[in-house]
Amino acid sequence: MSRAYRILVGESLRRQVSATDKLTAALDLPSVLPAPRMLELFAAALTTRGFQVAENVATRDDPGGLAWRIDLAGGTVELSVAGERRLELHAEAEAEQGNVTRAERAALLREQAKADLEAQAEAATDDVRREASRRLEGALAGARRELDAAITAATGAALKERAAQLGRIMEIAEDPVTGALTIKVEV
């Protein structure tokens, strides 16, 4: 009577996985002045907030991993967060030789171990994707406030310019907390 042999194989996987989550929204800039001038004022407001403006695109990368891309001409805002992780995984598969040759059983076990590693890598990629989504969701409220502040600053500058075109400005009152602006003009 022959004795059953146990076969053990091991496989390793090293991989860099990455995922990005992004949100794109339309930019709503009031039409106080002609569009080219409004875009200039908005670009200036963004520059004071640390954005780099080139070829009608404003960009900024925040320390928390939030990347901004504002297409001034196209009127879109894109926020994105990327995540990555270095994987070093190991899987083993073991079975009795059975009615097949040792090489055949080892090949089957090796395929099983590789499939297990791919499943683990896919799960890790999903974790990275979920983490990027969570970080993007956490950054949205602050991003909205910052974008609203830039739009308010550009609109305020546009209103002052428009008031000067209408007549002599008598008085300007600004509330830095609410962004309210009152301009008295003598026509």
| Tens of pLDDT, residues 97-106 | 677 777 887 8
Considering the domain boundaries, does residue 183 fall inside one? no
Considering the domain boundaries, does residue 69 fall inside one? yes
Q: Is the dihedral of CA 145, 150, 153, 156 positive or negative?
A: negative
Say if residue 4's pLDDT is above 70.
no
Considering the domain boundaries, does residue 59 fall inside one? yes
Considering the domain boundaries, does residue 125 fall inside one? yes
CB 120 within 8 A of CB 91: yes
Considering the domain boundaries, does residue 179 fall inside one? no
Query: For residue 43, what are its two tokens?
Result: 């670009």
Calculate the alpha carbon distances from 164 to 21, 168, 169 in Å. 44, 6, 6
The whole-number pLDDT of residue 95 equals 73
The whole-number pLDDT of residue 1 equals 45
Question: How much of the chain, in percent, has pLDDT values that exceed 70?
Answer: 97
72-97 pLDDT per residue, tens: 989 999 999 988 889 888 888 777 76
pLDDT band at 3 (very low <50, low <70, confident <90, very high): low
Domain extent, residue 45, equals 6-150
Residue 78 DSSP class: E
Q: How many CB atoms lie within 10 A of CB 123?
A: 9
pLDDT band at 10 (very low <50, low <70, confident <90, very high): confident
Q: Span 98-125, mean pLDDT?
A: 84
Considering the domain boundaries, does residue 170 fall inside one? no
Total structural domains within the chain: 1
Considering the domain boundaries, does residue 49 fall inside one? yes
35-49, 117-131, 137-151, 169-183, range with the lowest pLDDT: 169-183
CB 68 within 8 A of CB 62: yes
Considering the domain boundaries, does residue 182 fall inside one? no
Closest CA to 19 of 138, 143, 134: 134
pTM of the model: 0.74
